[in-house]
Each structure stands twice: as structure tokens, then as C-alpha cells.
A and B are shown apart, each in its own frame.
Chain A
Amino acid sequence: MSTDTSCAINYKKVDDIIASIGAKKQNLIAILQKVQEEFRFLPQEAIAYIGTKIDGLSPAEVYGVATFYAQFSLEPKGKYEIKCCDGTACHVRGSMPVYTYLTQRFNLEEGKFTSKDGLFSVETVSCLGACGLAPVVVINGKVYPQMTTDAIKIVIDTLVAKEQEG
């Protein structure tokens, strides 16, 4: 899987998304969320394109919004999106060893969050509101409670095995 951020995108899909939500400036965040859901990140082409399609917006403004919010990614995310909660409760109950384990397992260099094979991306989030189960890790929306380095190893091993089986 390529990690190139400039690729030919399907503009028809972007058009459909804009049409379904409404081409209004106040809908920009919702539109970007849908586009990200579709492409798993925000391709530069889509950002520029949305900027020309909505009255009162420019590509620069769309870029400004896309880079402001933590949810938006300008880089492709992995097939498995791992969110390591580092809220206060998770932090005091040991979320950092879990996070460190993940970055090392996938050889993620400083500033990179997706593994070279494009399968896994790892990021910290500030709080998922599941503090009673701290520390938690969320992988593609599924919450894994009370994680330790041993527990997360088993979770990842299982996912890797599943991928190898095809």
C-alpha cells in the first residue's frame, strides 16, 4: 500500500458527499469527516476541490480547518487504526508502556504513525470517556479494556495472524 498523499481521487465521490450534506460553509467539518471516512484520510486534491466547490471558502481555508482538528489526517491511516487513550485516568494506570510497546513493535519513527506495510496506525487520544476501564485501547472502534503490554501483544498478534491467513 502506498503512503503517497497525492493520488488521483474519485471526485464524483466528493461531489456526492458535498451534495448529501449540503454545500454550505457551516457543513465543512461534516463534509471533511465523510470524505475522511471514504478515503481513510484527507487527500490534498479533495481539500483543494472542496475549497472551490463551496461559496465563501477557499482551498486555504479548508486546509486551515483540516489541520486544526486532531481528527483529520492528511496522511493515510492504517487498515487497523489503533487509538491509545492517554487521558488522565489511563495515564496514571499505565497507558504509556502500552503506547511505547506499539510504536516499537511497528518501528514507528518520531512523527510517523503508520506502519510501513500500511496495516497499523498508532496514535494517542486524550480521553475516550471509558476511564473506569483504564487504560484502554481502541482498534477500529472496538474498545479493549484494561490493557497491559502483555495484553496488547496478544491483541496485535491475533490481528497479524488474521492478516496473514488472508
Chain B
Amino acid sequence: METEVKKLNIDINEEEKKARELINKQGLRVLVCNGTGCIANGSNEVIEKFKELGADVGILEENKKMVTVPTGCHGFCEQGVLVIIPDFDITYVKVKPDDVEEIINSHIKDGKPVERLLYTDPKTNLHVYKNEEINFYAKQSRTSLKNCGEINAECIDEAIAKGAYRALSKVLEQNNPEAVIEEIEKSGLRGRGGGGFPTGRKWRFTAANRGGKSYVVCNGDEGDPGAFMDRSVMEGDPHKLLEGMAIAGFAIGADEAYIYVRAEYPLAIKRLRIAIKQAEERGFLGKNIMGSGFNFEIHIKEGAGAFVCGEETALMASIEGERGMPRPKPPFPANCGLFGRPTLINNVETLANVPVIIDKGAQWFSSFGTEKSKGTKTFALTGEVNNTGLIEVPMGTTLREIIFDIGGGIRNGKKFKAVQIGGPSGGCLTEEHLDIPMDYDNLIKAGAMVGSGGLVVMNEDTCIVEVARFFMHFTQNESCGKCVPCREGTKNMLKILEKIVRGDGEMKDLDTLEELALAVKEGSLCGLGKTAPNPVLSTLKYFRDEYIAHIKDKKCPAGVCSALKTYKINEELCKGCTKCARNCPVGAIEGTVKNPHKIVQAKCIKCGACIASCPFKAISLV
């Protein structure tokens, strides 16, 4: 293809310089995390307090003024509200509105850091000042999440100052879609939504149908429970996503795009809307972008709560206003997708990696990761670890590094038992897998998958059979009902798991469970059904003895399954304070004041409220 270099009417370097000057003029920047997690912890109140007290801060020679910048998610949600002052190279954690005055008076005015608000390393018990020295951040390399937590997502200049739209400007200037596709292919980027399909190849397939109307669709229907990286990108650095989409649109010859965002993410929807409007006003989206003649319009579609819509054909049906049900492939979306036109569907994180690949080159990107899985991957680290939150590490990082270095180990000194990777489509891995380098292929080999990147860590108190039941309940609930193997298979698998958890299981149930699992895996129409049995299969493989304990010994080794346990009050320890009886939601505890109480087992629903309420530790599980 012969291409001519184009002269653009916007000089992005000039724009970047101007944006930087604007930011420098702001003075001392106080970054307050304003992601969903920190908002729940009161970040809006902290921001208000800073604004209220910050006006008259006449401090520091160079910094005449102070400005509060609400940023996207910084990832360390557990320690919210996070306050970062980059000029002082300091990170404060768990900041409450009442702490703001002290930060301003002691640190900003007097230069004395407020030690009690610093992060304390659980291993050394020492205060940590610098962000990059906090164990949670030390081993990360943030690419797609880079700006999240550093910029105000609702202000386009902040993004431009960090290099937003530089990559788009580059491709429009060079005016060679083929070269863009080649660069993405060379980078080795693979789909971050779960499947790991090579992104460049997908672009090439769609670009082959260039000529008529085609679409770019961004899959922001992050339905996997336990994963929230896409939410963070959309909330924290929306321009990166928009830029990635525009580059994709240019490469495949599309002029219209949709972002499908799940309705559970209202803040992401709001910030994307603002970002699209600002980008259009500045000429980075819309008609004749930067004077190149390339048009690209992005719409937002709100989902309505259906997990299966994360599957690409179901997602397109949902955008068209129908029930979100998948259809057989082929035809693939690259040939016949949205409204019957060629369509490129990529996940949020995949698209967020595009600008940096174009900007820094495929070679830079592929210097991270393993041989077949390049770049970095975000993981949502949750469950029973000390540091929960969102992380980004090079592909090939081991689970041990993630859980014990970044995650700071298991909470309350408990023992690691398993980690569930990839949500309801993934599997449970055990101690023996802690040292395998995590990439697409190694995880598949171990019986799990990268999936969306949810990592839920479980300790010795987690019942694996109950977790398998939990996932099966989820997929059964979310099965759309179109194909029989998934609809009926998941239902029957769930029935068996419920039976085992109830203590009514028989040994032959395990065989049936395995047989059904394979049938559902083989026979289902879409990814939901094909992967639904994974949690069951992997737990049967690695924790079979726990299933057997439920079936043969009628015992739950973790002491979780309520049908297999009873609550008892120790008469010697009970002081008859009546607190348990008052807290029991079903009135199952009898007794008079100052006399030992008793639990009526027939009424007890085994909720555990009494254990939590007893001040004398007189109630226990037997």
C-alpha cells in the first residue's frame, strides 16, 4: 500500500508542552485517590477538607500554591484513602478528613512528615515514605495502569501532559494502517480479556474486510467476580482507552465505535462520557481528527447486568438491543459482527496497551514478559492477603512473588491454601504452583487460565468444595439458557455440589460430576459454558481429599459448611449475659440472665452471629 505522510493541524508536542506548563503552574499537587474504593472510604470528604484548608497555604519557596487533584484508582484500595504528594515523594495511607489539617500544618507548612499516616511494612514494622518502596508497589511495572492514580481523569490536559494522543498523532501522520497492524503483531500483545488471542492477528482479519462500514467495539463488561482492572482504567485514565480505540479504528478502517460498560460501574461511565466530550472538543476524536481526514466517533452502551454479555457475540446482540445471547462462530465478528458489519472486539486492557506500543515501539513492549506472553498484565489481588488491590506485573511473574511480596503474605498469620485465578472460568491452584511463571500457556497447563486476571487468595479457613459450589452457582445463574449442555449441565453439577456441601454426598457423585464437567466443557456453545466446569475440575484434581472428607466422614475440614457443624455453648465459660440470645436472628438461644445459655439445634441456622457477639468466647463450633 502506497502511503503519503500527512501534515496534521495539531502539533501534539506543542500541546503536551502547554499542558505541562499548565500543570507546573498549579503549584504543589496533592493527589487524592478518587476511585470507587477510596470514595467508599471517604475520599470525597478528604478532598473537600483539603480544598477548605488549602486556600490560604502560603508555603514553600517554589510552591506558592497547593492544588488538590482527585485521581483514578491507585490500586492499593485496602489502604484507602491514599494521599500522594509527588513533589515530596511521599504516600499517606488510610487518610481521614480529620487528618488533613495535620498533613497541611506539619508536612506542607513545616516540612515534617506525619509518621502515623505512613504505610507500615508488616515484615519490618518500619514506616515507608516513598511510594515505590512500599512492598505493594516495589515489584510492579505499571503500563496500562501507569497514569491511574497520577492524573485527574476528568481533565484532558493532565492526560496530554502524560503523553496522551501522541501515539494517535504518530499513526495519523504516518498514515499507514498496515504498519500499525504490523507493529501490534510484532509486539506480541495478546487479548487481555481472557482468551489470549493474538491482538495483531485479530486486527489483520478485520482489516481484510476494509472498505465498507466496520466497527470497533471495546468490551468493558468486566463481569468476572473479583476482577476490577478494566474499571480502574476507565475511571482512572479514560483517554488511554479512547486513544487505543482510535488507533484500532484507523488500522482496520472503522469510523464508529462502541464501549460496552457494565451498569455496575456508574463512575466509569461518567468519566468516559466526560473524556469523550473533551477529546472531541480538542479534535482528538470526532470528524477530521487533527486535520487528517480520519473520522472516529465513540458511543457508550450501558450493560444491564448479564455476565454472558462478556462473550463477544452476546455483547454485540446486547448493543443491538436484544437479549444478550451468544451465537455459534463462524461467522466471526471480523467478518460479520455488529449490525452485520465487520467488527473488531477488544477488551479494555488490551486497547489500553496499544498507545504505549505505538509510542515506545513493539520492541520495548516485548522486552517484558515471557517468550509467548509479552508485556505486563494487571491482576486484581483480593481475598485473604495483607495487601489487596490492583497490580500490574510483567507476564511470567510467579504467584509467590505476587502473593507474598506484593500481597505481603496471608492475613493474620494464617496458612496459604489455594489461589483462585481467572474467576468462574479459571481454576484453583495450590502451593505446588506458586513458582510457575504466570503466563497464558503455563496457566492453561496447570488447569487454570489468566482469564480477566482475578486472583482470590484463600487460607486454611476456606472450604474448597464450598468455593466450587459458589462458582457453579454463579455460572448456573448466569447461563443464558440457549444451549442445553450449559443450561442443564451446570444445573445438575450445582445440585451435586449442594448435596455434597449439605453432607448428603455419595462417592459415585464425584464420577458423575466429572462426567458432567467434561460434557459441559465439550458441548457448550460459548466460552461461559466451555469454561464453567474449570473450578470443579481443578479442585477435584488438587483437593479431592476435601471432597471425600465431606462425603465419607461428613466433615468439612475448614469448618465452613454449616450443615456439617454445630454450635455449642460452653457452660463453664458462659456468664449468662444474654448477648448471644439478643443477637441470634432466629431466637434459637434459650436461657435466663446469669445462667448458662443453650442453643436449640433445631432452630439454629448456623449463621455464626452468636460466636461473633460472645464477649467470653464461650461459643464454639464442633
Contact = CB atoms under 8 A, between A and B. Distances in A.
A116 B311 CA distance: 38
- Tell which of A68, A89, A144, A150 has the most Cβ of chain B within 10 Å: A89
Nearest to B477: A126
Interface string A62-76: 001100111110000
B36 A130 contact: yes
B456 interface: yes
B384 interface: yes
Contacts of B266: 141
B607 A88 contact: no
Contact of B382 (A64, A131, A150): A131
B612 A89 contact: no
Interface string B68-101: 0000000011101000000000000000000000
A29 B304 contact: yes
Contact of B305 (A71, A92, A130): A71
Nearest to B389: A132
B195 to A, nearest CB: 20
Given A125-B264, A132-B389, A68 B306 contact: yes
Contacts of A33: 263, 302, 304
Nearest to B308: A68
Interface string A10-42: 000000000000001111111011000000000
A154 B19 CA distance: 47
Interface in A121-137: 125-134, 136
A131 B39 contact: no
Given A72-B304, A88-B454, A127-B264, A145 B41 contact: yes
A135 to B, nearest CB: 11
Nearest to A32: B304
B40 A136 contact: yes
A164 B138 CA distance: 51
A100 B607 contact: yes
Given A65-B323, A101-B609, A149-B609, A129 B467 contact: no
A90 B456 CA distance: 10
Contacts, number: 158
A93 interface: yes
Interface residues of B, number: 63
Contacts of B225: 86-91, 126-127
Nearest to B262: A129
B605 interface: yes
A32 to B, nearest CB: 7
Interface in B22-47: 36-37, 39-41
Contacts of B223: 126-127
Given A89-B382, A128-B264, A69 B306 contact: yes
A13 B581 CA distance: 50
Interface of B: 36-37, 39-41, 76-78, 80, 222-228, 231, 263-266, 301-307, 318-324, 380, 382-384, 388-390, 420, 423, 454, 456, 458, 462, 467, 470-471, 474, 478, 480, 583, 585-586, 605, 607-609, 612-613
Top 5 closest pairs, chain A to chain B, by CB: A132-B77, A87-B225, A143-B40, A70-B305, A129-B228
Given A30-B302, A69-B305, A134-B382, 11 more contacts: A25-B321, A71-B303, A71-B304, A89-B456, A91-B467, A93-B383, A97-B608, A127-B225, A129-B231, A130-B77, A133-B80
21 contacts: A26-B319, A28-B321, A68-B480, A69-B306, A88-B226, A88-B420, A89-B383, A92-B384, A97-B607, A126-B307, A126-B478, A129-B222, A132-B77, A132-B382, A133-B37, A133-B77, A141-B266, A145-B41, A149-B609, A150-B612, A150-B613
Interface of A: 24-30, 32-33, 64-65, 68-72, 86-93, 97, 100-101, 104-105, 125-134, 136, 141-145, 148-150
